[in-house]
A and B are shown apart, each in its own frame.
Chain A
Amino acid sequence: MFKLLKEVFRTGEATVKYPFAPLEISKDFRGKPEHTAEQCIACGACTIACPANALAMETDVAAGTRTWSISYARCIFCARCEEVCPTQAIKLTPDFELAVTNKADLTVKAVFKLADCVCCGEPFAPAKEIAYVTALIEATSVTSADGTTAAVSEDTERRRRMLATCPSCKRVNDLVQIARITDQQEKRR
């Protein structure tokens, strides 16, 4: 009894003033993930890595859009999305006060435009993703350029066209190309 009283007096007031005063949290606390749509290329890496299916990606071919969404109700704040994002478009913040009065407010969306295939004209991949990869390829081809500039730009142009082609058109093009090659081989004989 005496030891308990001593402990109680020693401690003094243990109650903190929260929510009337801010709560101190650790520097690297994993709280609410914030998405920067300008930075995002809608590649979908985060939606695959998310263990809780809090992140989702839905494609609407008719409207030519892809909608990225996060549900803070499902999020487990593991930061896998932040880890796998190639463009640092999603980052966890220390914010932990996520309560809302309306359930729908727990979902945040971002809509991205799809690019049309240069061959068939059907929308097939986010325009920003294609632009990002094209830029990457251009950057690498400049650094590896030891041939003539004309050859480099021709090669880059060919790859750019490839990127802007949808997978099913690529398959058709491949077939056409294979047919042409076999044709030429036949003629040579």
Chain B
Amino acid sequence: MNINVTDRVGASHIEYLRQKLPHAVLEERWQTDKQVTVTVKLNQLPEAVSTLYYGREGWLSVVVGNDERSLNDSFGLYYVLSMEGEEKCHVVVHAAVPSDNEEFPSVTPKVPGCVWGEREIRDMYGLRPVGLPDERRLVLPDDWPEGLHPLRKDSMDYRLRPQPTSDNENYQFRNDAAGETTVVPLGPLHITSDEPGHFRLFVDGEDIIDADYRMFYVHRGMEKLAETRMGYNEVTFLADRVCGICGYAHSVAYASSVENALGIIVPQRAQAIRSLLLETERLHSHMLNLGLVCHFVGFDSGFMQFFRVREKAMTLAEMLTGARKTYAINLIGGVRRDILGEQRTKTLQLVAELREDVQRLLEMLLATPNFGPRVAAVGLLDRKIARDYSPVGPLVRGSGFKRDTRVDHAFAGYKNVNLGVHTGDGCDVLSRTMVRAAEIFDSLSLIEQLLDNTPEGPIINEDFVYKPYQFALGFTEAPRGEDIHWSMTGDNQKLYRWRCRASTYANWPVLRYMLRGNTVSDAPLIVGSIDPCYSCTDRVTVVDVKKETSKTIPYKEIERYCRERKDSPLK
């Protein structure tokens, strides 16, 4: 749009779309040389998305809704497709929903992967997807008032907490089993999958026939918060906190979305530093997951060994950024900290140590008899299901698809490094684990490559001005898969819209199919294999309703009681 585009990649996709659907395309706008937004007629939206999805090897990244009534009297729908065939680029299919007719034809019957995105738009904007097979709420709680759609610009202040409308749980869990089944509830806070998600397993004996789940118990309203309270630079720090494990990937995705929208050129050195830190983050995240795999198969000594070695990756992050987890390194236009000679030397030393340590631990894990046979052929992700739902990261790579944003859409410093994509063909928990193990060594090698020829020069570009209503995508490959952000700038030094899609969001919808046909005891293992993020509660508050007193019991006390089983802290 505002960029002098010389080499446009992806023009053939638009040509193809124009041929297949002669009168559908209304407008095409290029955000960068590899990003195009095509506006199509609303009634041809499903055909347009499915034509690109199945006809041109498109994968659905995210569905974005936007309240553009103050700009053009309509709601915007953006279906972001990552084109991974011949011409690798991003094509965004856009359609406008007029503000006086709040419905649009659902794409889900043609492309099943759109289901979560369309359910979310229904919740957040009150637009009805006509023909959507699943019209239950996704993001909003069951006791949220009808007709209050938080992301509409005129709906509510971000600080408002509406009164719950009901005391009962009224979410309908779906069971497609033909025969009679028993319900096994898991969560909202289950011990082995600490994530607040509620799972309903429909079982016949020990076998899972079907499964359904409810997420978003901890929806934090970050998008609304960013739009209403924070400036552009401040949101990079908020994005750092989207995930407790791979937050930096979000920070980079957000920053690059704004940089793409405004055509800001980020210095090469800053790009390299971003990539280097993303790999540091991948190191600790993958080691955490390998540790958890050990834990799930009952090999807790292995878990401890992986966590001991993971500490070196944490030290690396602390040394390079000043914090173990929330790196806080990005600003729009570049990074805040350079990597100095001393840090480079120490990094190379830590990388060498890590390579040896991880190698030894992997040999130990594979030699453990209760690992391989326990995880092989468990939690199968069928290739057809994977193609329909567009999952990301080691999950989809474990089913043989070569999808990796770092390679498909090389961003930041990944343009100048050698990197292959590891895939597995087992489609099971074992394949995913082995993909992650292989990627640890990739990350180590990438860090070395990036340090060996780091471009010289400045680390931040501050020579730009913000222009209102520019939009673009930003993307990264987080340890769990592609993170994708869509940002539109506003006219008040704040974002007009920020859509942040974490990788696990794309992976949840296929979980149902992975759970089917396994036993109840496999469930935590399968959930763990998509590597969802974990949160922990480390103390308990006991409230005595009769005496109206409350008492907080420290974690240590509970742990002691668990071991000794005497002197109860509850008395």
Contacts of A28 on B, CB cut-off 8 Å? 319, 322, 337
Q: Mark B236-255, 1 if CB is under 8 A from A, else 0.
A: 01100100000000000000
Q: Is the CB of B315 within 8 A of A78?
A: no
CA distance A98 to B201 in the complex (A): 44
Looking at the complex, which one of A7, A27, A29, A51 makes contact with B364 (CB distance below 8 Å)? A7
Q: Which residues 59-88 of A sit at the B interface, judged by CB distance below 8 A?
A: 76-80, 83
Q: Closest A-chain residue to B326, C-beta based?
A: A76
Contact A51 B301, CB 8 Å, known A14-B308, A29-B322, A79-B322: no
Contact A1 B305, CB 8 Å, known A7-B360, A29-B323: no
Contacts of B234 on A, CB cut-off 8 Å? 49, 51
Q: Is the CB of B315 within 8 A of A26?
A: yes
In this assembly, does A11 line the interface, its C-beta being within 8 Å of a C-beta of chain B?
A: yes
Q: Which residues 19-70 of A sit at the B interface, judged by CB distance below 8 A?
A: 25-30, 49, 51-52
Q: Is the CB of A7 within 8 A of B305?
A: yes
Interface of B is mostly: helix
Q: Closest A-chain residue to B316, C-beta based?
A: A26
Q: Is the CB of B318 within 8 A of A78?
A: no
CA distance A151 to B323 in the complex (A): 54
In this assembly, does B328 line the interface, its C-beta being within 8 Å of a C-beta of chain A?
A: yes
In this assembly, does B374 line the interface, its C-beta being within 8 Å of a C-beta of chain A?
A: no
Q: Which residues 313-361 of B sit at the A interface, judged by CB distance below 8 A?
A: 315, 318-319, 322-323, 326, 328, 336-337, 360-361
Contact A3 B237, CB 8 Å, known A29-B318, A29-B323, A76-B326: no
Interface of A is mostly: loop
Contacts of A1 on B, CB cut-off 8 Å? 367-369
In this assembly, does A4 line the interface, its C-beta being within 8 Å of a C-beta of chain B?
A: yes
Q: Mark B202-242, 1 if CB is under 8 A from A, else 0.
A: 00000000000000000000000000001001110110010
CA distance A178 to B429 in the complex (A): 79
Q: Is the CB of B318 within 8 A of A3?
A: no
Q: Is the CB of A79 within 8 A of B328?
A: yes
Q: Is the CB of A3 within 8 A of B328?
A: no
CA distance A29 to B328 in the complex (A): 12
Looking at the complex, which one of A4, A7, A11, A26 makes contact with B322 (CB distance below 8 Å)? A26
In this assembly, does B391 line the interface, its C-beta being within 8 Å of a C-beta of chain A?
A: no
Q: Give the shortest distance, in Å, between A45 (CB) and chain B (any CB).
A: 13
**Highest count of chain A CB atoms <10 Å: which of B230, B323, B361:** B323
Contacts of A52 on B, CB cut-off 8 Å? 237
In this assembly, does A8 line the interface, its C-beta being within 8 Å of a C-beta of chain B?
A: yes
Q: Is the CB of A30 within 8 A of B308?
A: no
Q: Is the CB of B230 within 8 A of A26?
A: no
Q: Mark B413-452, 1 if CB is under 8 A from A, else 0.
A: 0000000000000000000000000000000000000000
Contacts of A25 on B, CB cut-off 8 Å? 318
Q: Mark B359-391, 1 if CB is under 8 A from A, else 0.
A: 011011001110000000000000000000000
Contact A4 B301, CB 8 Å, known A11-B308, A51-B230: yes
Contact A4 B368, CB 8 Å, known A29-B322, A83-B336: yes
Q: Which residues 282-325 of B sit at the A interface, judged by CB distance below 8 A?
A: 301-302, 305, 308, 315, 318-319, 322-323
Contacts of B305 on A, CB cut-off 8 Å? 4, 7-8, 11
Q: Give the shortest distance, in Å, between B73 (CB) and chain A (any CB).
A: 34
Q: Closest B-chain residue to A3, C-beta based?
A: B364
Looking at the complex, which one of A2, A26, A30, A49 makes contact with B328 (CB distance below 8 Å)? A30
Q: Give the shortest distance, in Å, between A84 (CB) and chain B (any CB).
A: 10
Contacts of A79 on B, CB cut-off 8 Å? 322, 328, 336
CA distance A67 to B533 in the complex (A): 40
CA distance A7 to B360 in the complex (A): 8
Q: Is the CB of A7 within 8 A of B361?
A: yes
Q: Is the CB of B363 within 8 A of A3?
A: yes
Contacts of B230 on A, CB cut-off 8 Å? 51
Q: Closest A-chain residue to B301, C-beta based?
A: A4
CA distance A7 to B362 in the complex (A): 11
CA distance A30 to B308 in the complex (A): 23
CA distance A28 to B233 in the complex (A): 22
Contacts of B326 on A, CB cut-off 8 Å? 76-78
Q: A1-B367, A25-B318 are in contact. List 10 more A-B contacts (CB 8 A).
A: A1-B368, A3-B364, A3-B367, A26-B315, A26-B322, A29-B322, A51-B237, A51-B238, A77-B326, A79-B328
CB-CB nearest 6 A-B residue pairs = A51-B234, A30-B322, A78-B328, A51-B237, A3-B364, A26-B319
Q: CB within 8 Å of A: which residues of B?
A: 230, 233-235, 237-238, 241, 301-302, 305, 308, 315, 318-319, 322-323, 326, 328, 336-337, 360-361, 363-364, 367-369
Q: CB within 8 Å of B: which residues of A?
A: 1-4, 7-8, 11, 14, 25-30, 49, 51-52, 76-80, 83
A/B interface sample: 24 pairs, CB < 8 A: A2-B367, A3-B367, A4-B302, A4-B305, A4-B368, A8-B305, A11-B305, A14-B308, A26-B315, A27-B319, A28-B337, A29-B322, A51-B230, A51-B233, A52-B237, A76-B237, A76-B241, A77-B326, A77-B328, A78-B237, A79-B328, A79-B336, A80-B233, A80-B237
